[in-house]
Structure 1
């Protein structure tokens, strides 16, 4: 099985703003973005999408997924982590003590009132378990947090480590399962 995870392209919001589940649009034309992504996937020899496109319902993901398939599977479990009271705020305006408390227990702390990393991961992994059994090739357009949580899970790496991996807007992470074991084919391609 091939699992192709694509982070949504750049969004039309100021840099440095916490936007988790805030529904923000893409910065550039969705059809131009789809053309560029298609060309990149061809150049990388990414397998064709056999088992459908899956996407977060947030417009920065869903608008692109719908260019690839009018029947894209929309699933709220693929949404980014919910940052509660921090949503829509510039990171540098959030009390540093709250950010430190969150970093001190990244797995369970929720100083923002939204989801903990554990809650977020549980939601994303439930999607994976429900969707990626007995499939040939699933393509997903989602968020950096979703891609990193799935990467950590598939490769047996601690979530807090996987969360540190650089992943560009529009970055492709391609995984392949061979004889029951997952391998990373491409990261941030």
Structure 2
């Protein structure tokens, strides 16, 4: 099964702010970015399904690219940063931030989740898709789920998955061949 992971475009927020599951709108440059994303999706593909995170920064891009018929799935949401949502990264107390930075895979944010928990959501989603054996599929989501899905499909340790740079509006094409359910 072929899947296209598509990251949302630039959100309307200043740099340096923690905003995982906060429902942000997109930047004023959205229409220009939408055109650029469209160029990175092959014209000859007839997507069987289009899935999106329910957050508006993904839904708006999904509808702009594919119109109606988008299937929202909460498992595609970004990391829940809990108490850190909408705080400046440099204002988060070091005694909270440092342990998480040392082991973000296993340590959850206060009142939030760990990257391992996010990854489990993504793997659950992939396992469900794998049972359907359909494709190609477009998935509009966030950098965290994209990295976690990419790591799972390519057998990369979660701690190493941040080596994959995922720009706003980037399209990553993956082939799921005989993926084993976990």
Q: Report if the CA contact (8 A) 2:10-2:30 is conserved.
A: no
Aligned pair partner of 1:66 in 63, 68, 76 = 63
Q: 1:49 & 1:82 partners in 2: Cα distance?
A: 33
Deviating more after overlay: 138-147 vs 26-35: 26-35
Q: 1:181 & 1:122 partners in 2: Cα distance?
A: 15
Q: 1:24 & 1:130 partners in 2: Cα distance?
A: 28
Unmatched runs of 5 consecutive residues or more in structure 2: none
The CA RMSD over aligned residues, in Å, is 1.9
1:94-147 per-position Cα deviation (integer Å, ceiling 9, x unaligned): 112322101222222124220112211111211111124311201111000010
Q: 2:112 & 2:140 partners in 1: Cα distance?
A: 23
Q: Report if the CA contact (8 A) 1:51-1:136 is conserved.
A: yes
Aligned partner of 1:138 in structure 2 is 137
1:136-178 per-position Cα deviation (integer Å, ceiling 9, x unaligned): 2011110000100000000000011012321111111111134
Higher relative contact order (CA 8 A, sep 6+): 2
Match of 1:119, SS state, is helix
Determine whether 1:40 maps to 2:40: yes
Aligned partner of 1:75 in structure 2 is 73
Match of 2:176, SS state, is strand
Aligned partner of 1:106 in structure 2 is 104
Deviating more after overlay: 163-172 vs 147-156: 163-172
Q: 2:31 & 2:49 partners in 1: Cα distance?
A: 19
Unmatched runs of 5 consecutive residues or more in structure 1: 183-189
Q: 1:71 & 1:17 partners in 2: Cα distance?
A: 32
Deviating more after overlay: 148-157 vs 111-120: 111-120
Q: What is the aligned residue count?
A: 178
Q: 1:2: Cα distance to partner?
A: 1.1
